[in-house]
Structure 1
Amino acid sequence: MLSIDDNVLSAQDISSKFKIFSNAPYLSSKKGSVAVCIESVSDWLSLCFYAKEAGLTVMPIHASTPEKLAKKYAENAGCYALIYQTLNNVIIFPKNEKPDNTPGLIQMSSGTTGAPKSIKRSWRSIDQEVSAYVAHFSAPNSMTPVIACPVTHSYGLICGIFVGLARGKHPRIFTSINPKHLLKALLKLEQPLLYSSPLMIDTVCMLWPKTSKLHAVMTSGTLMSGPVFERAKSKVEHFYQQYGCSEAGCVAISKTFESTNVIGEVLPHLNVKAGSSQSAPSEIVIKIKQPLDGQSAEIYTNDLGYFEDKDGVHQLCFVARQDDTIIVSGLNVYPKDVEDVVLSHPDIDDAVLFKVKDRSTGYRAYLQFCAPHRYSNEDKAALRSWCHKQLATYQVPFDFIQVDAIKRLPNGKVNRNEIAKNFQLEAETTAATA
């Protein structure tokens, strides 16, 4: 049993739709995988459960995706059909008709370091992840999972819903992410565990009554900034963070969230390689102990990290995406280090550091930021001076660009490559019209 907003979706409700799905000619392993981009979360989840039970492959696509783009994703992933907006609207791709011998879930990568790509995981490998997750992370056994993030993504679908059901819990899913509505629901629940993005967690915590604390939160997708964590931790009883990738699912969980870069103990079905210290990080490489259904034995994440031992616990720590690291004067600049400092400035609401190619130096670091008032050249000079007092000289951004809002993905991540590309296009356009 699970709830979607204020509506309960029982096992009987789900099984009643199974009869409809079993008669649909396009839902057959002989035809191939099916992409699903529909408004109704209950229809999507019912179809997902059916696919898992019937041995089919499905590919969830966020409901807000335009039809043309959804078709592109589905066709490029080799899907035979796309269910768009409603269960009755089915688009067929005849050239992709082929038997599917390894049923599972196709996920789109976030695309933060390039074009999004489709990654397939078998249902058996997902069951392996869920079992390891439940065995390793037992604290939530008494908690109610509250999923306030997309259930078309593995974080909400697998770690929120599948894990919650495996624990015998009643997951609560919220599709309209209204902080005040979510706050009211959380206040009514006993021991809720909120699965959401850092931004939503920050907003809920700012609204939370001073007389009590939110029982538990889980964050994932992107590291919570230092200032946001400092604001939120006084409002939360149990703070958790998890780290994963599209190919392997959840990799590590931090059971005691004391530092934003600590992403926790590795799940028992995995081995992970990383750097030996903060001063010597290396690429995080994941090795699945018992690969299933064509899984790669080793997964290279393109993330930099290292291990540290604290209080007898061997914990994985995240540094940065390798692609995001900016080399300035031969020294590594990690965006989060700079962003955390800038966000501690009383005037700065949001910030992102990105790199732009430079003919003379290779790359320069630029900072996009949001502030409540329009910054003059004198204000920017003052901000730069302030940064020089807080950061090493090589870490200070080359330039500061004020924007109304920083573009973020639904999971809270930023696509630094896209931000840099748009910045360069705007600069070239301005130069051409000057």
Structure 2
Amino acid sequence: MNISQKILDSLEGNPNKRLVFEDTIYTYGYIASMIRKAASLLRKLGVSFGDRVALQLPKSMEFIYFHFANMLIGAITLPLNPSYSEAETEYYLSDSGSYLFITTKENSQRLKGVIDRLKIKTFLVDEEMDKINDVGEYKEKPTTQPDDVAIIAYTSGTTGRSKGAMITHKNLITNMEALKKLWRMTDKDKLLHVLPIFHVHGLVVALQGGLNAAMDIVMHEKFDPIRTLKTIESERITLFMGVPTIYSRLTDALQKLEGRIDLSSMRLFISGSAPLTKVLFEKFYSLTGHRILERYGMSEAGMITSNPYEPKERIPLSVGYPLEGCSIKIVKDGKEAKPFEVGEVYIKGTNVFKGYWQMPKKTEESFDNGWFKSGDLGYTDNSGRLFLVGRAKELIITGGLNVYPKEVENVLDSHPDVKESAVFGVKDDDFGERVEAAVVLDKGIDPQDLIDYCKKNLAHYKCPKRIHILDELPKNAMGKVQKNILIERFS
């Protein structure tokens, strides 16, 4: 079982299908040939089965070639955000024991100290890519087993050092096939890809999913809302995947365009990587007639749940039902919770990762009788539909009472003058923790008016004691709010 072989089967079986990246056309047949050549080149560079190969590149075809080539020969890809600092990059390269670092000349100069200290072999795509012409196509059959690691995805280290989630070939393939079936992805689709590809969302869900279904793909290096809408219209796009920040900017752009855009080709808008607010869900629907399909996933388990394909069954603030091959349960005080009881989301299935790289103790702590403890808090309704209320580590305990940030954010986001919000706990000598919020406004409003608005809709202990007005919330590359930064700033 090998994810790259699965992708190659699709590429070579549909050689005339196209991926258009920044107006340059690449046929599936050409991409397959380049992947096989890249695999031969990696072998020539000394990469062996199980070696870790780090890719720190801008969104590019070279990233795609080397990623699939690497997994084809049984090595492990380490996708790294190009914006990582010198210290972050050194940690990931060192912790993973990467054999080869594939990057650009400019980035290698920025990281010269790291490269020299680690003595890591380096390949520069903008200087050495012509070496691919000196090798033939790799024709050996993969020898990987289902539980062999394909990708190490480092999770954000907001509460300690980052952990490398070991994602196997079986994880990738079974999850990809479950999504293909649920979202009805076919070779008749046309995907617009605007996400980064160093992250699971853009690399695994969008890119691998699109190639596996043999759909035509239009790929932009960076997201631009006006360009995205015009591309959907001109290219007759049917499928789009984004994060809430992207949908917020698309909504703003649609309002400016005053309906002068044709979205009739679109079949499905999908959102993930961060929670989608009810206000944004409804605003997008009112402007486009499309109910965004929200799903729930994480590095350690790929995609876990999804709202149903049928538009009328997509409910705002819910992330839907478990995917085929995946099970969830809610655990409260060591026991399975009843419907509507909040507890930690536990996950089991073929999508769940192998463990954390070189962290056996952390891996053991993260599982309970085969169930992965997600760290997310949520509840299910009587039908088994999942609703998330936040991270367990974000739970605020004020005066001995539990406050789930998501519940307060839902109220703040429903105010007509609030664009988005983030609720967090700050240490308090009297209450242990006090509830505070940071908000981005559409229109000016006094913070006290927002606090009063919360008091009309929530128990008073849940309401923010202070509200901070910001121009924007701190977010990571995938649009997830970094509450640790807010806590540090306002403590």
For Structure 1 versus Structure 2, the TM-score category normalised by the shorter chain is: 0.7 to 0.9
**Aligned mate of 1:152, from 192, 198, 206:** 198
Matched-pair identity in %: 23
C-alpha spacing 1:3/1:123, structure 2 compared with 1 (3 Å): farther
Structure 2 segments unaligned to the other structure (5+ residues):
1-17, 122-143, 332-336, 357-366
Match of 1:298 among 371, 375, 400: 371
> Residue type of the partner of 1:129?
N
Letter in 2 for 1:242: R
Residue of structure 1 in register with 2:362 after alignment: none
Q: What's the CA shift for 1:184?
A: 1.0
Residue 292 of structure 2 aligns to a residue whose secondary structure is: strand
Matched, 1:225 2:225: no
In 1, Cα distance between equivalents of 2:392 and 2:93: 29
Give the aligned partner of residue 426 of structure 2: 356
44, 49, 68: which one pairs with 1:49?
Answer: 68
| Counterpart-to-counterpart distance in 1, 2:339 and 2:354 | 35
User: Structure 1 residue 16 and structure 2 residue 34: aligned?
Assistant: yes
1:307 corresponds to: 380
Structure 1: gaps spanning 5 or more residues:
425-434
| SS of 1:237 mapped into structure 2 | coil
- Residue identity in the other structure for 1:207: A
Does residue 243 of structure 1 match 2:309? no
Which residue in the other structure is 1:5 paired with? 22
Offset of residue 260 of structure 1: 2.8
Counterpart contact for 1:18–1:47, Cα < 8 Å: no
* Aligned with 1:322 (options 392, 398, 401): 392
* Residue 268 of structure 2 is aligned to residue 268 of structure 1: no
Q: Which residue of 1 aligns with 2:155?
A: 109
When the two chains are superposed, the root-mean-square deviation of aligned CA atoms in Å is 3.0
The total of aligned residue pairs comes to 415
Bigger shift: residues 232-241 or 157-166:
232-241
Q: Which residue of 2 aligns with 1:70?
A: 89
Aligned to 1:366: 436
Which residue of the other structure, out of 413, 421, 430, is the alignment partner of 2:488?
Answer: 421
Q: Does the CA contact (< 8 Å) of 1:354 and 1:416 recur in 2?
A: yes
- Check conservation: 2:412, 2:418, Cα contact below 8 A: yes
Please give the secondary structure, in 2, of the residue aligned with 1:107: strand
Does the 8 A contact of 1:352 with 1:368 survive in 2?
yes
For 1:35, the equivalent position in structure 2 comes to 54
Amino acid at match of 1:107: A
The CA distance in 1 between the partners of 2:190 and 2:222, in whole Å, is: 19
Q: Where do residues 388-399 of structure 1 align in structure 2 (5 Å cutoff)?
A: 388-399=455-466
CA distance in 2, matches of 1:117, 1:236: 41
Query: Secondary structure at 1:339's aligned position in 2?
Result: helix
Counterpart of 2:178 in 1: which secondary structure?
Answer: helix
Mapped contact 1:320–1:335 kept (Cα < 8 A):
yes
Report runs of 4+ in structure 1 exceeding 6 Å deviation.
Answer: 290-296
Partner residue in 1 for 2:360: none
Distance 1:80 1:222, change over 3 A: same
Take 1:123 and 1:41, find their aligned partners in 2: how far apart are those partners?
Answer: 23
Query: Where in structure 2 are the equivalents of 1:60-139 lying within 5 Å?
Result: 60-86=79-105, 91=115, 93=118, 102-111=148-157, 114-138=160-184
Return the alpha-carbon distance in structure 2 between the equivalents of residues 87 and 371 of structure 1: 38
